[in-house]
Structure 1
Amino acid sequence: MPKSTVFARSTGSAGEEGLVPYPADISDAYRAAGFWSGRTLPTELRAAAPQHAERTALITPEQTLGYRELFAAAEKFAAGLAASSGLRPGDAVMFQMGNVAETVIAYLGCLMAGIRPVCTLPQHGVREISVLARHVGARGLIAQADFRHGKLPEHARELRSGGVIGEIVIARGPSSAPDLSYADILGAGEGADPADLPYHTLDPRQIAVFQLSGGTTGLPKVAPRLHEEYAYNASAWAQALGWAPGTTVLYALPIMHNAGISVALQPALLSGATLVLAPSADTGTLLDLIETTRPDAIPLVPPALAVRLLDEPRSRHADLSSVTDFIIGGQKLPPEIAERLRDELGIRIRQKFGMAEGMFLVTPPHGSERMRHHTVGTPISPADEIRILEPGGDTEAADGEIGELCVRGPYTIRGYYRAEQHNAHAFTDDGFYRTGDLARRHAIDGMTCYSIDGRIKDVINRGVEKIHAEEVEELILRHPHVAGAALVAMPDRVLGERGCAYLVPEHDAPQLTVAALGDFLRAQGLAVYKLPERVEYLPSLPLSPVGKVAKKTLRDDIADSLAGESGASV
């Protein structure tokens, strides 16, 4: 299919400017196969409520809501928005909310009102929110007044005074005109007929939710998630994990993120499960909730959080026996950590890969340790398609050879929102998304599965030689004196880039010199050109809001250090 046909800005059959629609023949095929239902996302979610009316839907440290209560509150919020605000179906609304019940109610309420949530994080600053709001044309913002230092309402008003947004909804704190109060919106929706809510008449081919991909500086990369495909994403995940009424799911990362929505909130509600929402990923909070709510599944645990659990003395005495699905994701897990979780805490791990653009993979529940410890498994849908291509090219890599993960399927986007120029390079001519992830295909236990071996941009270009950061990091973590490691590129006038290792020491362990680290890595069989040429120590590695190592922070840090040293020597 010609690229101009796939990626030209088009209103498409759904009438959405800036949206790259699924080609009609592919959409028809997904519906004929039963992957897409022809119903909207809120319709699918709302249909679960009568089936599980008396079951518990949501638990937070502050309250417990049954399915009947949760969806009744969401319907009031939806009706109240229509009655008391200027927001209308098709409008986009920014979310700056933490892991509280009000977030879940407001999210579901917006869907039922035909309003599109923009899943930002409360940690995003005014500039980031402004760039994103302008990009998607957002007209409102919902802010949690008591999040951390209570600055979010002030930031929202700054955005309004700058003409970025119009409507502000304040939750969990005082509001004054022209702000709208979350409580007042619920009150305005009291007594409304749910049959009159806009979601009953929405086009399921249109955008339901905006999700963020990657950073928020410069041109935003926004993934428009459509009603049918986003609902299928959640149901396919729930089916792959075997969730059902009686399943309890504990989620500790930010819920207003693609991971939180598509691996926790929506699949839990679609399957009649109970979602336990942790206010933070603090290990003490996590252990408390495991012991009090007895979850079956923890569907997304960053490796950094797994390490913190291992380092927490209380973990040795906590009753973790209820957790039968402990799923690591977000970053490659060193096999040594998987073995420690097994041996020290009795936790049998699975691994996952997923992204805001769609495609999910997970290791099967009864897969061998070779598969569970060294790969991210297989796609969750039989219609998912994967190619491993030579980076930047169209030639397929052989089994076991590293290449770029390229994906297509019934819940993988066809293009970023309002990003024609970027889409022309981010997708193949026939609609496979170039993820930028380096991967390998493996045949294990009679199954085809995949490992994720870093990012293309996480490759250090040392002259004509290329160093894959994760390969070196995995070997560094074998050193008994190292608790954490990140290899990043530092600028070099001659070679372009060299490798700098940021290390976190084990408790009271001596620090390694460049030479000592090099000796150890050579003994592990690492080529000399891949050895780190500088070592920096930190008490902990900086993390993004969703638990990944913030390598851009480290690259900026070493670049600033080198610039300072160069200036000092002049």
Structure 2
Amino acid sequence: MRTPLQYQVQDPLPGVVYAPPGDLRRYLDAGLLTRETMPEALRASFAAHGPRIALASAEGELTYEQLDETTDRLAGAWLELGLRPLDRVVFQIGNCPELVLGFIACLKAGLIPVCTLAAHREQEIGYLGVHSAARMHFVQGDDPKFNDVAFAEQMRGEIPSMKWTVQARGARLGTALHLREQLETMPLARARELLGQVHIDPFQVAVFQLSGGTTGVPKIIPRFHNEYIYNMRAVGQFLGYGPDDCLFMPMPMMHNLNMGCCFGPFLLSGGTVAVSTAMTADALGQVFRQYRPTWTAIAGPILEKLKPAIQSGLLPLDRLRGVISANNAPALRALLKAPVHHIFGMTEGVIMLTREDDPQVVQDTMVGHPVSGMDQVKLFQIGTEEEITEEGVIGECAFAGPYTIHGYYDAADRNAQTFTSHGFYRSGDLMLFRDIGGVRYWQFCGRTKDVVDRAGEKVNCEEVELLVSRHPAVTSAGVVGMPDKVYGERICAFITLADQHAAPTVAALGIFLQEQGLARFKWPERIEVLAELPLTKSGKLSKPLLKQLITDKLAAEAAGH
């Protein structure tokens, strides 16, 4: 007898909010979602593109066939170690080929990667490890500036569920297991025998991604097997990725932007993913010279490193046919002599992009339209569910669709605040729309969220304020973004002082925040002392006024200089 088709997960995980079965049925019936799992989709691509180069770096290359076999062996080694499907693995590792090996191995073994950043420290890793009940910590091992193996061993003592540390690269340190040794001792036949016993549900969680956070530390975002596949394929089809393309995306590979819109879609389309393990101008330039990428995404600080080589003609850009950027298309187009696609998106779901055939005003100033025909976008008056339907009016955007989440992991209170009564994800971003030639295009207009966007890293202001306020010299703190030509925004802390205390220097405050376990990229880069912090009429801290104060001060300093 044929088993009836299912439209929901069979064994739901506590704390995970799954899409309603009715929504899943609509997306499946429309052919958007499939009943594939992430490893099934990847294996199909690996088989179709076997001899092509999948991963390339200064350290060597891997074909799709080699990538498939290597990740089978690593997945088998982790299962033989004692990990079981749906166990969580904290990834704290910079860009390198081993990151991709570990990520794919997790998917094949049914393990759930927890996508942290290499720069995270006790504050973030401790919380996320405990919150996700992680069992393994996967670290880089050869970071010259930070002993992440020793750090992982320390955190293993603070996270009750954590049992293993695996080191990806470098000489073996401490008591960590080493990826190289795990591969050497796992025969391919044995690995595939173990993997043959793994059952993965296409409606189940594939990855725990992270939010930028509007309150406290980052929240965990569950992304599911079939919807994450659809996210990746939709982006790849929208931009036209193909087997002859080469991607160089030097931003963090554990970010959803890179995973969901760049290297993930590339591995599903048979292209080559070029990886640089170092962020120096020489290392980045070498990738361009050796692999001549056709697609790239370059944030402000990385662009500044490469600009001298670009302007002098030493960086070969002749094959470049697409650049992905959040903004600034006209300047990038002039510099790189290539089409620039503005992108708007969030780890929680919807992705918007511009196309080469969009009207010029759209390519230059807007973020295009969603990649899925079933993405839904609404504008509301800020803080309400009063919908805005007029063209050109700014409102807070909210989203629903086949790859937009229905709730953060184990965060009922936050979910109650974040989703509308109709289940739309309230983004905290401000947008407007214009209908041009029968197409609705969207324009990003700012944020209602209390975050600083520092070169693409979303820094939660409340989290930084809380820790800055613990400094013995500080009685209160207000953190805002200050404009910066390279990073977009940098972090400024306004503080009031305790009696008989002098203000800490930026360096001294950094040392204090390091002791508090806060990632370095979140440390304030400027301190301003006020007698009292400005308040709104309702008695809340006035962030707009603080932003205006620092903007005006920077402008005055620039004029004086």
Q: Which amino acid aligns with 1:125?
A: R
Aligned mate of 2:378, from 371, 387, 392: 387
Q: Which moved more, 1:184-193 or 1:32-41?
A: 184-193
Q: 2:428 aligns with which of 427, 436, 439?
A: 436
The question of 1:71 aligning with 2:71 is answered: no
Q: 2:251–2:299: 8 Å Cα contact kept in structure 1? A: no
Match of 2:404 in 1: 412
Measured in 2, the distance between the counterparts of 1:285 and 1:216 equals 35
Worse overlay, 28-37 or 68-77: 28-37
Q: 1:325 to 1:281 in 2, by over 3 A?
A: farther
2:186 aligned with 1:218: no
Partner of residue 248, structure 1:
246
Deviation at 1:355, TM superposition (A): 1.3
* C-alpha RMSD over aligned residues: 3.3
2:259 to 251, 254, 261: 261
Query: CA 1:127–1:343 in structure 2 vs 1: closer, same or farther (change >3 Å)?
Result: closer
| Correspondence 1:37 to 2:28 | no
Alpha-carbon distance between aligned partners in 1 of 2:312 and 2:436, rounded to the nearest angstrom: 32
The answer to whether structure 1 residue 122 and structure 2 residue 118 are counterparts is: yes
In the alignment, residue 172 of structure 1 is paired with which amino acid? R
Deviates more, 1:202-211 or 1:391-400: 391-400
Asked if 1 retains the 8 angstrom alpha-carbon contact of 2:208 and 2:221, the reply is: yes
Contact persistence 2:19–2:406 (CA under 8 A):
yes
CA separation of 1:325/1:345 partners in 2, compared to 1, >3 Å: closer, same or farther?
A: closer
**Maintained 8 Å contact 1:364/1:378:** no
Q: Residues of 1 paired with 2:281 and 2:174: CA distance?
A: 40
Paired position in structure 1 for 2:145: 149
Q: Using the TM superposition, give the Cα deviation of residue 265 of structure 1 relative to its aligned residue in structure 2, in angstroms.
A: 2.0
Q: Match for residue 130 of structure 2?
A: 134
User: Aligned partners of 2:356 and 2:311: how far apart in 1?
Assistant: 27
Partner of 2:529, secondary structure, is helix
Name the CA distance, whole Å, in 2 between partners of 1:389 and 1:116.
Answer: 35
Partner of 1:207: 205
- C-alpha offsets along residues 438-483 of structure 1, whole Å, 9 cap, x if unaligned? 1111223442111111110369xxxxxxxxx99xxxxxxxxxxxxx
Residues 130 and 199 of structure 1: CA distance in aligned 2, closer, same or farther (over 3 Å)? farther
Give how far 1:30 is off: 1.0
> Matched residues in 2 for 1:160 and 1:195: separation?
30
**Other-structure match for 2:548:** none
Matches within 5 A, 1:181-200: 181-190=178-187, 191-194=189-192, 196-197=194-195
CA contact (8 A) 1:128 1:216 kept: no
List gaps (5 residues or longer) in structure 1.
1-10, 460-468, 471-487, 506-537, 543-549
Q: Distance in 1 between matches of 2:108 and 2:247?
A: 24
- How do 1:16-35 and structure 2 match up within 5 A? 16-35=13-32
Q: 1:297 to 1:356 in 2, by over 3 A?
A: same
Distance 2:131 2:336 in 1: 46
The alignment's TM-score, normalised by the length of structure 1, stands at 0.76
Displacement of 1:320 after TM fit?
Answer: 1.2
Aligned pairs for 1:458-473 (under 5 A) are none
Match of 2:288 in 1: 290
Q: Is 1:236 aligned with 2:204?
A: no
Are the equivalent residues in 1 in contact too, given 2:345–2:352 (CA < 8 A)? Answer: yes
Q: CA separation of 1:306/1:22 partners in 2, compared to 1, >3 Å: closer, same or farther? A: same
Q: Give 1:220 shift.
A: 3.7
The residue number in structure 2 matching 1:279 is: 277
Distance verdict in 2 for CA 1:61–1:339, change over 3 Å: same
Query: What residue identity is the alignment partner of 1:360?
Result: I
The 8 Å contact of residues 384 and 407 in structure 1, kept in 2 or not, is answered as yes
Q: Aligned residues: percent identity?
A: 33
1:501-531, Cα deviation, whole Å (9 max, x unpaired): 55569xxxxxxxxxxxxxxxxxxxxxxxxxx
Further displaced range: 198-207 or 100-109: 198-207
Q: Retained in 2: the 8 A contact 1:316–1:344?
A: no
Q: Does 1:561 align with 2:534?
A: no
Distance in 1 (alpha carbons) for counterparts of 2:107 and 2:378? 34
Distance in 1 (alpha carbons) for counterparts of 2:480 and 2:120: 30
Matching of residue 101 in structure 1 with residue 97 in structure 2: yes
What does residue 165 of structure 2 align with? 168
Q: How far is 1:114 from its partner?
A: 1.0
> Cα 1:257–1:198, aligned 2, differ >3 Å: closer, same or farther?
farther
SS of 1:301's partner is coil
| Cα pair 2:245 2:271 within 8 Å, conserved | yes
What is the DSSP-based 3-state SS (H/G/I as helix, E as strand, rest coil) of the residue aligned with 1:192? helix
Distance 1:425 1:212, change over 3 A: same
Q: Match for 1:180 among 177, 182, 193?
A: 177
Q: What's the secondary structure of 2:442's corresponding residue? A: strand
1:413 counterpart letter in structure 2:
I
The 2-side partners of 1:359 and 1:198 are apart by 34
1:393-421 deviation digits (Å, cap 9, x = unpaired): 11222211111111111111111000011
* Greater mean alpha carbon deviation, residues 349-358 or residues 181-190: 181-190
- Aligned partners of 2:214 and 2:27: how far apart in 1? 32
Q: Determine if the alignment matches structure 1 residue 360 to structure 2 residue 340.
A: no
**Deviation (angstroms), 1:193:** 4.8
After superposition, the Cα gap between the structure-2 partners of 1:430 and 1:14, relative to the gap in structure 1 and judged at 3 Å, is farther
Larger displacement relative to structure 2 (379-388 or 208-217) = 208-217
Note if 1:426 corresponds to 2:418: yes
State the AA in 1 paired with 2:219.
K
**Alignment of 1:351 onto 2:348:** no
Alpha-carbon distance in 1 for matches of 2:485, 2:30: 50
- Does the 8 Å CA contact 1:113/1:198 hold for their aligned counterparts? no
Q: Secondary structure at the match of 1:44?
A: helix
Q: Which whole-Å CA distance do the structure 2 matches of 1:302 and 1:161 have between them?
A: 36
Uncovered stretches (5+) of structure 2, i.e. residues with no partner: 1-7, 454-460, 466-476, 487-505, 511-519, 535-561
**Distance across 1 between alignment mates of 2:47 and 2:284:** 31
**Which residue among 96, 109, 112 is the counterpart of 2:108?**
112
Distance between the aligned counterparts of 2:334 and 2:24, measured in 1? Answer: 47
Q: Distance in 1 between matches of 2:186 and 2:177?
A: 13
Cα distance in structure 1, aligned partners of 2:199 and 2:141 = 33
Report the CA distance between 1:301 and its aligned residue: 2.7
TM-fit CA distance, 1:19: 0.8
Distance 2:176 2:93 in 1: 16
Taking the aligned partners of 1:217 and 1:198, their CA distance within structure 2 comes to 42
Q: CA deviation at 1:88?
A: 1.2
- Is contact 1:81–1:189 with CA below 8 Å preserved after alignment? no
Cα 1:499–1:192, aligned 2, differ >3 Å: closer, same or farther? closer
Query: In structure 1, what is the Cα distance between the partners aligned to 2:83 and 2:174?
Result: 16
